[in-house]
Amino acid sequence: MNAPVLVEFKDVEKRFGDTVAVEAMDLQIRKGEFLAIMGSSGCGKTTTLRMLAGLEQPSAGQILLDGKRVDTLRPEERDTPLVWQSLALFPFLSVVENVEFGLKMRGVDKVARRERAMDWLGRLDIAEFASRSVDQLSGGQRQRVALARALVTTPEILLLDEPLSALDANLVVRMQGVLSKLQKDLGITFVYVTHSQSEAFAMADRIVVMSNGRVEQIGTPEEIYREPATRFVAEFIGTNNIVSGSVTSVDDRHTTIQGDGVTLTATNGSTALRVGASATAVVSADSVRLNAAPSDAVNQANQIVGTLVSEAFVGSVVTLLLETPAGEFRVQTRQRDLAQINLEHGAKIALSFTPEDVFLLPDTREGG
């Protein structure tokens, strides 16, 4: 994405007493992109969003919006509306009055603000509820009211703090579609904070993964999934299988590691490792193939025999959990591909994957 930079964090830090909530953040957000900030609770993602919104002041560094420094401005001077997790709608106002509120604060006359509010309610398919109290709406309808209220002022950027966390699972999927289409149609920059990988992967152009106040990786969903930059990212993406070991051989094409009774060979990538170095191999669950294991099966390079522990069916996709010499292994596959596999508890199943499916990282758990 080669669009101009809209937001820039320059060496931004946020401390609460002795606690560092955000550590030396350098981040550029481009015009028209959908950026998701993802991480577990307490990682600093919401603090980052609040600093951009003006609800928290950086302890150090600068935040620029369209080339102008905004970290010294009050929230109302920034034009960075925020859709809250709680939505924060006014229960004493009707739906249309909630949407009009920001325009009223800006001095827009009554006729013009009513016209613009109804236009946005129409765009979000809730115009029929304009005169209702927000308490009479469903969760998805209230979510659309909150979006209309934020977008009616035609901002360049919209901030969203876990806006779908309170919705039922089926409604989350529908609202993901609404948000994605809205963002693409409007060309507005979205900055979306979430702890949900599925939400981030489904909607974002780029993802920022944070841990303990630090940015661990910034990349496209595919880069985050297939090429995690750190062991933390690899572990955070819950469908990855991770094996630690030592490098036993390196040639022009492949690197092989030995660990916990298994041998893994990877196609050489951007990470150069020497023989004897500690390394971490990452194999995504959807890259693993299954075969019924013969009773005398042994582990070979990129082939592991595991014992079935459990299986979880989600629609047409099945996630298997197996115990192997390398620890737990997860496999994601289609239900129809399991016809020849014994899925009884304790069954032996052979797992295999190609060198291209193995991604290597230096093992930095100790001393690095």
Per residue in 299-332, pLDDT (tens digit) is: 677 899 999 999 888 777 899 999 999 899 999 9
**CA-based torsion, 270, 242, 233, 362: positive or negative:** negative
Angle between helices 169-186 and 139-151 (to 10 degrees): 20
**Main-chain dihedrals φ then ψ at residue 328, nearest 5 degrees:** -70, 140
User: How many Cβ atoms from other residues are within 10 Å of residue 302's Cβ?
Assistant: 21
pLDDT of residue 366: 43
| Cβ neighbours, 10 Å, residue 299 | 17
Residue with tokens 């969903």: 221
How many angstroms separate the CA atoms of 188 and 167, rounded?
Answer: 24
Write the DSSP string, 64-110: EETTEE-TTS-GGGTT--EE-TT----TTSBHHHHHHHHHHHTT--H
CA–CA separation, 348 vs 341, rounded Å? 9
Stretch(es) of the chain classified as CATH 2.40.50.100: 238-362
- Residue ranges of the chain that CATH labels 3.40.50.300: 5-226
Instruction: Say if residues 263 and 256 touch (Cβ distance below 8 Å).
Output: yes
How many residues does the structure list for the chain? Answer: 368
Output the pLDDT for position 315.
73
What are the residue ranges in the chain where pLDDT is below 50? Answer: 366-368
Q: What fold, for 5-226? A: Rossmann fold (3.40.50)
**pLDDT value at residue 11:** 97
Q: Provide the pLDDT for residue 367.
A: 39
Fold observed for domain 238-362:
OB fold (Dihydrolipoamide Acetyltransferase, E2P) (2.40.50)
Residue 6, H or E segment: strand 5-16
* Phi then psi dihedrals of residue 236, to 5 deg: -65, -35
Determine the residue type at 111.
V
Taking the model in full, what pTM does it have?
Answer: 0.86
Q: Is residue 367 classed as helix, strand or coil in its secondary structure?
A: coil
Q: For residue 299, what pLDDT is reported?
A: 65
